[in-house]
């Protein structure tokens, strides 16, 4: 299993388009992807990263920290892609 923590750079956080790109990429990876929001060093409940609705329910805003777990055959490549999406401000 791959796990990473990162700060969301999109001006709208993981809402609408960024959430759609993230969840679609997670689904296409074929891996199990879970993510949670970190607030004051407290981690929220993990949600299914392949579901745009679940991703959006976390309420991740610009500058929020998330933790992502990726498990499956292509987990390293999938984790790298998802991290780059979360860290991109171009959404």
Residue 25: name the closest of 87, 90, 84 by CA: 84
- Count other Cβ atoms within 10 Å, centred on residue 10: 24
Sign of torsion over alpha carbons 41, 72, 79, 56: negative
Of the candidates 10, 15, 47, 69, the residue annotated as catalytic is 15
Q: Is 5 helix (H, G, I), strand (E, B) or coil?
A: strand
Active site residue 15: yes
Q: Please list the active-site residues.
A: 15
């Amino acid at each position: 299993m791959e796990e990473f923590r990162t700060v969301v750079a999109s001006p709208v956080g993981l809402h609408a388009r960024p959430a759609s790109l993230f969840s679609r990429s997670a689904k296409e990876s074929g891996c199990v992807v879970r993510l949670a929001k970190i607030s004051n060093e407290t981690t929220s409940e993990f949600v299914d990263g392949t579901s745009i609705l679940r991703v959006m329910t976390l309420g991740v805003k610009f500058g929020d920290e998330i933790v992502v777990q990726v498990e499956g055959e292509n987990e390293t490549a999938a984790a790298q892609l998802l991290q780059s999406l979360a860290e991109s401000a171009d959404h």
